[in-house]
Structure 1
Amino acid sequence: MTSPAVESTAVESADAGSAPSVPVVAAAKPKPRLGSLRALWPFVRQHLGLFIAWLIALAVASAATLRLPIAVKHIIDQGFTSSTNVDQAFLALFGVTLVLALASASRFYFVSLLGERVVADLRRKLYSHLISLGAGFHDRTRSGELVSRLSADSELLRNVVSTSMSVALRSTVTFIGGIVMLFVTSPRLASFALLGIPVAVLPIIIGSRRLGKAARASQDRVADANTLASESLGAVRTVQAHARESYESARFGSAVDIAVDTARKRIRAQAWVTAAAITLIFGALVLMLWSGAHDVIAGRLSGGTLGQFVFYALFVGGSVSALAEVWNDLQRSAGGMGRISELLQETSDIVAPAHPRALPAPLHGDIRFDNVVFHYPSRPDLPALDGFDLEVRPGETVALVGPSGAGKSTVFSMLLRFHDAQSGGIRIDGVDLRELDPAELREHIALVPQQPTIFAASAAENIRYGKLDATEAQLQAAAESAEADDFIRELPEGFASELGERGARLSGGQQQRIAIARALLKDAPILLLDEATSALDAQSERAVQNALERLMQGRTTLVIAHRLATVLKADRIVVMDRGRIVAQGTHAELIAQDGLYAELARLQFID
């Protein structure tokens, strides 16, 4: 959930006029590199105890694995001479197997738990970073794309830590130990292994670049499908109201088909690399066995020694094969980490100064816009505010009116410091907003948007979002003042009732009163009110209007006005057009001027 102030990101859309949001990375994406996985180490280092325990268990399991062929050699060469020798040989083999089983179980436990904790920490950091980025980033980014990175890409990294890292290190240790033992067992046969290994590794190196590109493309297509699903499910009422279920299903199906086609290219590349590596590895093993069989026939090797060599050769071959598959997985995971790193490297346009000033206490709510000029990044040639000057006195209610795109919502966004002006300044009680910590600034401003955000939580949690430490008495008093307590108590579990996603269990008027109760509980000296009654029926409008009047008492209030009911009660009306103030005064004064306000008023009366 985001701060109530963050609800106003929605109010920017009316003035920004930007194109539909696009994925985070619209430009050419860099190729995934395994080096990007180094960014995981700080998260692993936070759980150093688990990491060390995993290494110890891995070392014991690897030692037991390398001991198995020696036990087999003794069984073949000496174990069949007497029943006592057989019993001892097989008992030793069982002991080695038991050590291997316990060490392997411990290794699996430690590395799996490490993977869970690392990914949990990564998700926490990524979410905290995303939620702190400015409005500009979220304006140009699809939420479904971000959710995909939090889920699908993070899941890939879980596999890196809990599976790929373990397999890679285990296979490396087994490979090195196996090579050493091959030379100890039979230097001549071991030389064949050295010829086969470089040849087996070659296709892995050649195919890795192509595989990495295919993996990145596959993840991007999955993110596209997730984004589409998130958007359509979030607007399911609109979809159903237009009877577009089949249309949306076809769109999602098409996106899934594209993701599958892209994944098929990755899988095909991975399959060819794996097939080539296994063919070459086990081809070399067959060559070694053929030569070893002739050595046994000629008496140069015992049967047990050849058996020991075969086991070590299988260990080495299996390790190279496992490393080939791990390499493929790492290529995919590098793409996921690269995508996450891109987000973690994003910086907010709005940052707190190194030494922020504090707002005066108590805050009076004197607001001044001084010759403010602001352009949205998506429309650099068209100013949203152009030489905007406005003074709002403490406790005054000022209504902002004007046609769509006049800059009314931009005034709210600038006051909440979702954007900074290109020139000019904005001050509250004489303090420039750029000298303040944005979080402290927003604590002193309450917002009631035209389309309130209702979280999929209880009524109490939704209201308490205005003040997290509010008492039960304060919570109920806010609901009562917002005329929300009656319908809340009629819910099945009262204040503990879940309101559904986006407040699906409430009417529009009830959602507005929840938002008003939230603002009342916050009790901020400055109130931003995006007219909340324009789409309500008469009965709901009256209830909401009464609640708004209580909310506005004693507060400096800026109102984006759509209905004359609010305009008539404002202390002053400011008429905006194309980012400028073209007139201001009372309702009667502006009607007498017969300007833009009079024209807007006549149009509303006609409607």
Structure 2
Amino acid sequence: MAGRRALWAGRIRQTVPMRQAFSHVREVRPEIVEGAHPVRSVLRLLGLHRWRMAGAVAAFAVKETPVWMLPVVTAQIIDIVVAGGPASSLWLWAGIALATLAQHYPNHVLYTKLFMGAVRSLGAGLRNALANRLQQLSIGFHTRANSSIVQTKVVRDVENVEVMLQQVTHPLLSATMVLIGAIVMTAIEVPQFLPVYALAIPLAVLLRAILMRRSRERNELFRREVEHFSARVGEMASLMPITRAHGLEHIATDRVAAGAEGVRTAGYRLDLLNGRFASLSWVTLQLLGVACLVLAAYFAISGLLPISPGQVVLLSSYFALLTTAATGLLMLLPIIARGTESVRSIAEVLQDPDIEHNAGRAVAARPSGAIALDAVTFRYPDADAPGDPPTSAPALDGLTLSIAPGETVAFVGPSGSGKSTLLNLVLGFVRPTDGRVLIDGVDASTLDLRAVRRHVSVVPQESVLFEGSIRDNITYGLGDVHDATVEQALRDANALDIVTALPEGWHTRVGERGARLSGGQRQRLSIARALVRDPSILLLDEATSALDSESEAVIADALSRLMRGRTTLVVAHRLSTIRSADRIVVLERGRIVEQGSHDELLAADGRYAQLHRVQAG
């Protein structure tokens, strides 16, 4: 069943070409984002927008002039007051203050446009890179990965990186400008006091080192708990019909509550750590600020340094700005820790090596439909422990089979006999452990399978529809399709009457997963979707097994038109639906035990005849 789900989920992913990134969004290559070096990764991402960032830093440096200039103005005015004039100097310094304040607004707007433009483009680039990587990753990855966790990485983790840049960059640049301004002006006014400023930097670095050692572990634990909780919520939503039907609401609620408790506990421990650190940082740096004020006043009173009252205020103001900036940055360390942990989470997808390699391989023309399996063996990678010799039976074991163009071949056998695995191999979602799969006589491992799949259509047991109109679902991924083509596909799928009876016709929205349509209606739309693609190869996996007898007859009639002139591989449990197949292949434990037409197999009185008698009952 897992193999079948992977087959159809993968088919939908592979049929839709990735949209090209918008011109203002830079492509993010997977190798840029390294989980082991999240800070370096963020700097590389910002480097993709270096000119915007350079302009933003320049605008920020100008707009922040009042922060370090106003203490100078204040000091000068105090000294003018102490000296008793002249009053004309007051107007000069007032004009300087007014000019520095007036430029703040336009430069702040310019900084916001440049910086936030870069951050938002960076976020879009990360989401595009994740989407592109998810398209490249093998079906094996998507079978293992929980869709809710993947969604969390694309939505929440990228948002965390954006929030980190938004909330950290401004204070960081501000602290840098204050530090530069304070050092320059102090070097001009009271150079002997510069060593005191040096105390704030190592102290802030020491406090950061103390926190980061413990914060990384707790942030990772919190992220894992959130991902686990997202998986539980997704599971609850998908199991809702079963839960309600069996009166198991309390079980579902308890499972989600257990996940919520894990998030609460991990989050509380992280908050407690951040709270203790915040208080320790604030008290330490404020004590340092008070010490600076007292020291400057003592030097002025004692005459050890030639410091005027205005310069005492200047030094105290600068040190207060420095300690406030350092405290603000230290308060942002939890956000930095969360953002860098999200970078590691994003890297788990971007650096996952389990990708389907198609780049540089031959792009085949429209296939005739000839398919051959040459001594194919396939064993699922997780069937045995890593490093151990294989002990479990392979899903397919040395299977050899040739299918001619236009031939209809049905596969029957008990669950676990390898039917869905065989279809996965034909589509290239999994690769043979041994042997070869040939398309028109060419080894599929040498082909760009994306080009091959453009000429393949799949009709699954449960139709995969998305929230959108009927027409959108039928023409999914094809771009502009003529209305007459869509109408003919609906007619051949025995779905035109259904669509025309709807108030909005084929513009009617089907609801999430096609919830507004019946099973038979969804299946007819799935057949229309296959017809409109005019495939060379058709795969049918239990296409009628979930339907009632009346719907099955209608669907079977539509399928007969769909199969005409195409190479068709059919997986079916109901033997009544495959009597007209050119050939029926009986599988058991990954091997072919017999094959032939319906009449030939009944006459042979073998395994197929036994299955037929059981169903005829």
TM-score past 0.5 threshold: yes
Name which of 310, 313, 321 aligns with 1:315.
321
The corresponding residue for 1:384 is 395
Matches within 5 A, 1:1-40: 8-9=8-9, 35-40=37-42
1:255 aligns with 2:264: no
Residue of structure 2 aligned with 1:161, choices 162, 165, 189: 165
C-alpha spacing 1:5/1:577, structure 2 compared with 1 (3 Å): closer
Normalization by structure 2: what TM-score? 0.89
Which of residues 69, 80, 101 in structure 2 aligns to 1:67? 69
Residue 367 of structure 1 corresponds to which residue in structure 2?
Answer: 371
Write the distance in 2 (CA, Å) between the matches of 1:61 and 1:546: 73
1:394 aligned to which of 398, 401, 405: 405
Alpha-carbon distance between aligned partners in 2 of 1:130 and 1:246, rounded to the nearest angstrom: 35
What is the CA–CA distance in structure 1 between the aligned matches of 2:44 and 2:521, rounded to whole Å?
A: 47
Aligned to 2:147, which of 143, 164, 184? Answer: 143
Question: Contact 2:60–2:111 at 8 Å: present in 1 too?
Answer: yes
Q: Helix, strand or coil for the counterpart of 1:369?
A: strand
Q: Which residue of structure 1 lines up, in the alignment, with residue 78 of structure 2?
A: 76
2:311 equivalent in structure 1: 305
Shift of 1:101: 4.1
**For the Cα contact (< 8 Å) 1:114–1:161, is it kept in 2?**
no
Matched position secondary structure for 1:529: strand
Aligned partners of 1:6, 1:248: CA distance in 2, in Å? 25
Amino acid of the structure 1 residue aligned with 2:121: R
Partners in 2 of 1:353 and 1:312 — Cα distance?
Answer: 58
Structure 1 SS opposite 2:373: strand
- The match for 2:46 is 44
Q: Which whole-Å CA distance do the structure 1 matches of 2:377 and 2:295 have between them?
A: 84
**Superposition deviation, residue 412 in structure 1:** 0.4
Query: Is 1:343 aligned to 2:349, yes or no?
Result: yes
Q: What RMSD over aligned residues (CA atoms) do the two structures have, in Å?
A: 2.4
Question: Residue 588 of structure 2: which of 574, 577, 584 is its match?
Answer: 577
**Paired residue for 2:468?**
457
Q: Give the secondary-structure state (helix, strand or coil) at the position aligned to 2:198.
A: helix
Per-residue Cα deviation, 1:213-257 (whole angstroms, up to 9, x for no partner): 111211121111112212322343333323333432332222122
1:435 match? 446
**In 2, distance between residues paired with 1:295 and 1:105?**
42
C-alpha distance in 1, partners of 2:232/2:364? 43
Q: Give the unaligned 5+ runs of structure 1.
A: 12-30
What is the CA–CA distance in structure 1 between the aligned matches of 2:476 and 2:575, rounded to whole Å? Answer: 31
What's 1:284 paired with? 288
Kept in 2: contact 1:516–1:547 (CA 8 A): yes
* Residue 612 of structure 2: aligned partner: 601
The answer to whether structure 1 residue 329 and structure 2 residue 335 are counterparts is yes
Whole-angstrom distance in 2 between the partners of 1:417 and 1:32:
30
CA distance in 2 between counterparts of 1:86 and 1:182 reads 22
- Which letter does structure 2 place at the counterpart of 1:63? T
TM (norm. structure 1) is: 0.90
In the alignment, is the contact (CA less than 8 A) between 1:51 and 1:114 conserved in 2?
yes
- 2:75 counterpart letter in structure 1: K
Structure 2 runs not aligned, ≥5 long: 12-33, 385-391
Match of 2:55 among 46, 53, 56: 53
Give me the whole-angstrom Cα distance separating, in 2, the residues matched to 1:514 and 1:235: 25
**Would the aligned equivalents of 1:466 and 1:518 in 2 still touch at CA under 8 Å?**
no
**CA separation in 1, counterparts of 2:208 and 2:6?**
48
Write the distance in 2 (CA, Å) between the matches of 1:52 and 1:203. Answer: 30
Residue aligned with 1:383, SS: coil
The match for 1:238 is 242
2:222 to 218, 221, 225: 218
Residues 405-462 of structure 1: CA deviation (Å, up to 9, x unaligned): 0001111000000111111111122111112101011112111011121111111010
Which residue identity is paired with 1:372?
Answer: V
Give the Cα separation in 2 of the matches to 1:496 and 1:404. 39
Q: Partners in 1 of 2:200 and 2:439 — Cα distance?
A: 75
Partners in 2 of 1:7 and 1:483 — Cα distance? 25
- C-alpha contact (below 8 Å) 2:66/2:97 kept by paired residues: no
CA distance in 1, matches of 2:479, 2:240: 31
Looking at structure 2, the residues matched to 469 and 113 of structure 1 have their Cα atoms a distance apart, in angstroms, of: 33
Q: CA contact under 8 A between 2:289 and 2:323: conserved in structure 1? A: yes
Q: Which amino acid aligns with 1:417?
A: G
Change (3 A) 1:199 1:44: closer
Over 3 Å counting, the alpha-carbon distance change for 1:506 and 1:65 in structure 2 is same
What letter matches 1:304 in structure 2? G
Taking the aligned partners of 1:349 and 1:156, their CA distance within structure 2 comes to 26
**CA distance, structure 1, for counterparts of residue 332 and residue 160 of structure 2:** 12
Deviations 1:305-361 (A, max 9, x none): 1111121111111222123234443222111111111211113453126341524x5
Q: 8 Å contact 1:590–1:598 — kept in the other structure?
A: yes
Alpha-carbon separation, structure 1, partners of 2:229 and 2:438: 44
Q: Secondary structure at the match of 2:481?
A: coil
1:415-426 residue pairs with structure 2 within 5 A? 415-426=426-437
Residue of structure 2 aligned with 1:492, choices 479, 483, 503: 503
User: Across the two proteins, how many residue pairs are aligned to each other?
Assistant: 581
Cα distance in 2 for residues equivalent to 1:198 and 1:39 = 25
Question: 3-state SS of the aligned residue for 2:586?
Answer: strand
Q: Could you tell me how far apart the structure 1 residues matched to 2:358 and 2:407 are?
A: 29
Partner of 1:23: none
Q: 1:115 to 1:431 in 2, by over 3 A?
A: same
Instruction: Tell me, yes or no, if the aligned pair for 2:7 and 2:429 is still in contact at 8 Å.
Output: no
2:51 and 2:193 mapped to 1: Cα distance? 41
Kindly indicate whether the alpha-carbon contact (under 8 Å) linking 1:136 and 1:349 is maintained by their aligned counterparts in 2: no
